[in-house]
C-alpha cells in the first residue's frame, strides 16, 4: 500500500448482505481511478452520517487556512470554502478523482495532487484539517500522524473519520458497484486507540472521539437503493468512528501545568 490515502467508504450491496460471488479486490489507486466517474452520483449512508455529525462542529474558518486531506472529488473542500475559510485546499493522489473535483467551478485552483505522507506544504500552515474516510488506506499511522502534525499550526484542529472497526468486523467494506462488477478497495482498519496513540505521540491531543450509528435520516438512502430490509440491522452496528484532535506543542503543555 502506498499510504497516500483517499476518502470514501461505501456500504453497498456487497457490504450489507452476503453475495454468491465475492467483490473484485483492487488497490487504493486503481480502485479510486475506477470509482471516480460515479463517485458523486449515488448517496452514501456512511458519508451522510459523518456529515450530519461534523457540520455542526465545524469551527469558524474566517481568515483561517483549511486542508482537506485525501479530498477526492472535493466533498469536504466545498463545505470548508462555504464556511468562509480564508484559504482552503484539497490534496489527493488520484488524478481521476481530482479531475472530477476540478470540474467544479468553486474548486478551481484549490486542489493539488500529492501523497498524504509527503504533503506539498510548508510546516505550520493550516488552522484546520479534515481527513475523511482515508486512514484505512494508510498502513503506517505513525508516518501519517507525523506528516499531518507537521503542517498543523499550534492550536489547530484535526477531524478524522473512518469506517468503524466493528463495522469492518461485520463485513462492511469500502467499495462500489459499476457496470463490470462489485469492487472492494483494499483497506486496513485502525482502532480508535491506535489512531489516538499515533497522533498523541505527535503532539495531537484528543478532544473527543465518538462512535456513530446510522439513523432515520439515512433511511431514504437504503430505500432508494432497494435495501430497506437491511436498514434496521445496519443501524445496530457502529458505522463511523470520529476523532477530534488538537495540535498542542508539548512545551506549551508543560508550561500550562507547571
Domain residue ranges in the chain: 13-257
Q: What is the mean pLDDT of the chain?
A: 88
pLDDT number for residue 7:
34
Q: What is the pLDDT of residues 15-72, one digit of tens each?
A: 443 333 467 888 888 889 999 999 999 899 999 999 999 999 999 999 999 999 999 9
Mean pLDDT lowest among 22-31, 88-97, 198-207? 22-31
> Is residue 8 within 8 Å of 70, Cβ to Cβ?
no
Of the candidates 247, 153, 238, 239, which has an alpha carbon nearest to the alpha carbon of residue 207?
247
- The pTM for the full model equals 0.88
Which CATH class for the 13-257 domain? alpha beta
Q: Examine the pLDDT at 106 and tell me if it is beyond 90.
A: yes
Burial class (CB in 10 A: 0-12, 13-18, 19+), 146: middle
pLDDT (mean) for 166-189 = 87
Q: Examine the pLDDT at 89 and tell me if it is beyond 90.
A: yes
Q: What is the pLDDT of residues 118-133, one digit of tens each?
A: 999 999 999 999 999 9
Q: Could you give the CA distance from residue 104 to residue 108 in angstroms, rounded to a whole number?
A: 7
In degrees, rounded to 5, the angle at the alpha carbon of residue 90 between the alpha carbons of residues 190 and 210 is 35
Higher pLDDT, 241 or 24: 241
Amino acid at each position: 500500500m502506498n499510504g497516500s490515502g483517499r476518502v470514501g467508504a461505501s456500504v453497498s450491496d456487497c457490504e450489507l448482505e452476503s453475495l454468491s460471488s465475492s467483490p473484485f479486490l483492487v488497490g487504493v489507486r486503481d480502485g479510486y481511478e475506477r470509482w471516480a466517474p460515479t463517485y458523486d452520483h449515488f448517496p452514501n449512508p456512511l458519508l451522510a452520517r459523518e456529515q450530519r455529525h461534523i457540520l455542526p462542529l465545524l469551527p469558524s474558518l474566517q481568515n483561517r487556512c483549511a486542508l482537506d486531506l485525501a479530498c477526492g472529488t472535493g466533498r469536504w473542500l466545498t463545505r470548508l470554502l462555504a464556511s468562509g475559510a480564508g484559504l482552503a485546499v484539497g490534496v489527493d493522489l488520484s488524478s481521476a478523482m481530482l479531475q472530477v473535483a476540478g470540474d467544479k467551478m468553486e474548486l478551481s485552483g484549490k486542489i493539488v495532487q500529492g501523497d498524504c505522507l509527503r504533503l506539498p506544504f510548508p510546516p505550520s500552515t493550516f488552522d484546520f484539517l479534515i481527513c475523511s474516510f482515508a486512514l484505512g488506506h494508510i498502513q503506517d499511522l505513525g508516518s501519517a500522524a507525523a506528516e499531518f502534525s507537521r503542517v498543523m499550526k499550534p492550536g489547530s484542529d484535526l477531524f478524522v473519520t473512518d469506517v468503524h472497526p466493528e463495522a469492518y468486523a461485520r463485513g462492511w467494506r469500502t467499495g462500489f458497484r459499476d457496470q463490470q462488477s462489485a469492487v472492494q478497495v483494499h483497506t486496513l482498519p485502525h482502532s480508535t486507540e491506535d489512531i489516538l496513540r499515533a497522533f498523541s505521540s505527535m503532539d495531537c491531543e484528543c478532544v473527543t472521539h465518538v462512535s456513530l450509528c446510522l439513523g432515520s435520516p439515512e433511511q431514504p438512502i437504503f430505500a432508494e437503493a432497494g435495501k430497506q430490509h437491511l436498514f434496521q440491522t445496519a443501524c445496530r452496528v457502529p458505522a463511523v468512528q470520529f476523532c477530534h484532535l488538537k495540535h498542542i506543542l508539548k512545551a506549551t503543555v508543560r508550561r500550562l501545568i507547571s
